[in-house]
Chains A and B, each alone.
Chain A
């Protein structure tokens, strides 16, 4: 009897709900592919110097997508990788983007030298739209951060953040819940104090949950089978709280549903944006994290 019940539950879980795209507000670019100058142990897409699952996107490919995005009325653009500033055309890509909308770059901060920050600040000033930098940091000390992000990165990340702030590009520091206390009120205050101590007068902070896929699954364990969405999980029958109801992700390999599932072939929806305006079946376990944590990768 008990076994039958369990079997029934498993069967019910197979029918995954579908999320519609109500508008294409947020367009992501995997602009540096999965190539990174770090190999963080919690990276949900296992980026590293040698991971070429997705390659750098050339400016021409970004421009093609921007042309489509303008027609579709995209509201904001996000760039990630890997490390976006490894892409040699990154600044030209940002310039092209800032002509049509606001841009946010998710960076590890290591390549934010004073010169680059000055150029980025000048670019931002010349645009009607905001340019935001989001810099990842995973602890209030080298002892907490460096085992995750790599030896010596704590100091280099904060230096990049300071360079950005000094140029007038006040970055948003992005912290994951890789250390549980990071998300607590006390943890947030500690981060804000740390940033002020390091000369960032008006610290900005975003806390994100970890996704138990990629390197993070190796580090802390993968999802359990019950962590899967069903139709009845939809609050008031709607999935509009999920970012995939208003975003798509472009990589050199095509268009994906969201920034999280780019290493899942099932996350690929088409070749061009126009191919991907239909619904997406929420059949991946990472979808569970977005739903339960109410998370959006956008700032």
Chain B
């Protein structure tokens, strides 16, 4: 009986709501009230401010003020190799150091995310030291060094976070405290000169360590403003796992340098890094596919009982996880 009363009440409430909803003619919604449209429009115009043209120009100028980054500038070099996302892939890292050295890189830079995804994180440390690799912190280093409970990758979907948690837990458990402390000593950004060009090196973006700069979701006007604010001739970042290069109309370059920890969701088993070379008063950007012993990596991952989804990615070149964060174009190019 009482259930029926409740249902009847609910039905009545729905009918009332529906009547109100369709009673807009000549009326505006102001919160939960209906008010005459003219009244709403008048009140609305009294809220907020309308600046003069001159004050608008001033407001925009102030808003877009330069950051005044005090990071010292390294170099100059005529050729450097830059990569990100080792993801515990010591096989990839060995191959990278060899390849970059063979191609004449005078310095090798890593943009962070040493851990995650792959096996045996501790193997990476001596390779970085012996190879003279200069690193900055990614979100992984920041999280491990500060004892965060998650990787702070910045995913929004539970499907992405499910696998991100497995990766992070494994890495956190298999990393020594000394390695974690060392990660915490790495700088957040670096600046370096290649030829005449001053390049800013960050993990995600200059604003946030875990900001995703995907090619199809990082527009030119946004980048021009960002590079103006940072006062640099080029920006190098990683974090997304997908490499790209864009020459801006201003002649400056933005490069997502790629990652050497897992393939780039393109059906190839190679991983990607970047070589930047002086070319007269210009700079040349090369995105380099890097073959490495991916079968050895897959064997090691299996031995460590990492998810078979991860192993599949290493062997096929297609991502099986972290897919939900992708914008439409990058997702459309995926297999899964």
Contacts and interface: CB of A to CB of B under 8 A. Distances in A.
B47 A266 contact: yes
A50 B13 contact: no
B332 interface: yes
Interface string A175-215: 00000000001001000000000000010111000000111
A41 B51 CA distance: 38
Interface in B17-46: 17-18, 20-25, 28-32, 37, 40-41, 43-46
Contact of A168 (B14, B18, B21, B332): B332
Interface string B215-240: 11111111011100000000000000
A170 B21 contact: no
Nearest to B63: A277
Contacts of A48: 21-22, 24
A270 B48 contact: yes
A164 to B, nearest CB: 11
B332 A255 contact: no
Contact of B24 (A51, A218, A265): A51
A270 B50 contact: yes
A102 B48 contact: no
The bracket for how many chain A residues form the interface is 35 or more
Nearest to B35: A53
Interface in A54-85: 69-76
A152 interface: no
A244 B50 CA distance: 20
B48 A101 contact: no
Interface string B262-298: 0000000000000000000000000000000000000
Given A52-B37, A130-B216, A218-B32, A275 B47 contact: no
Given A46-B29, A53-B40, A72-B60, A269 B158 contact: no
Contacts of B224: 73
A129 interface: yes
Interface residues of B, number: 61
Contact of A53 (B37, B51, B156, B329): B37
A253 interface: yes
Contacts of A128: 215-216, 219
Interface in A27-65: 34, 39, 41, 45-46, 48-53
Given A101-B222, A202-B331, A213 B32 contact: yes
Contacts, number: 181
A206 B157 CA distance: 8
A230 interface: no
Given A169-B328, A265-B30, A270-B50, A129 B217 contact: yes
B187 interface: no
Contact of B217 (A22, A102, A188, A274): A102
A270 B51 contact: yes
A274 B158 CA distance: 37
A70 B248 CA distance: 14
B41 A253 contact: yes
A86 B67 CA distance: 42
B247 interface: no
A266 B46 CA distance: 9
Contact of A50 (B24, B57, B219, B225): B24
A118 B221 CA distance: 28
A114 interface: no
Contacts of B40: 53, 265
B52 to A, nearest CB: 10
A246 to B, nearest CB: 9
Given A52-B24, A202-B331, A219-B17, A275 B216 contact: no
A102 B56 contact: no
Contacts of A34: 29
A222 B327 CA distance: 35
A9 B215 CA distance: 49
Given A46-B21, A170-B332, A100 B56 contact: no
A188 B158 contact: yes
Nearest to B213: A75
A53 B40 CA distance: 8
Interface in A74-133: 74-76, 100-102, 124, 128-132
Given A73-B221, A274-B59, A275-B49, A50 B29 contact: no
B90 to A, nearest CB: 33
B24 A254 contact: no
Contact of B222 (A22, A74, A277, A278): A74
A289 interface: no
29 contacts: A39-B18, A39-B22, A41-B18, A41-B21, A46-B24, A48-B24, A50-B25, A52-B28, A53-B37, A73-B64, A73-B222, A75-B219, A100-B221, A101-B222, A147-B14, A169-B328, A206-B156, A214-B31, A217-B32, A218-B17, A218-B32, A266-B47, A268-B44, A269-B47, A274-B56, A274-B60, A275-B56, A275-B59, A278-B59
Given A214-B32, A265-B43, 5 more contacts: A74-B222, A129-B217, A130-B214, A263-B28, A263-B30
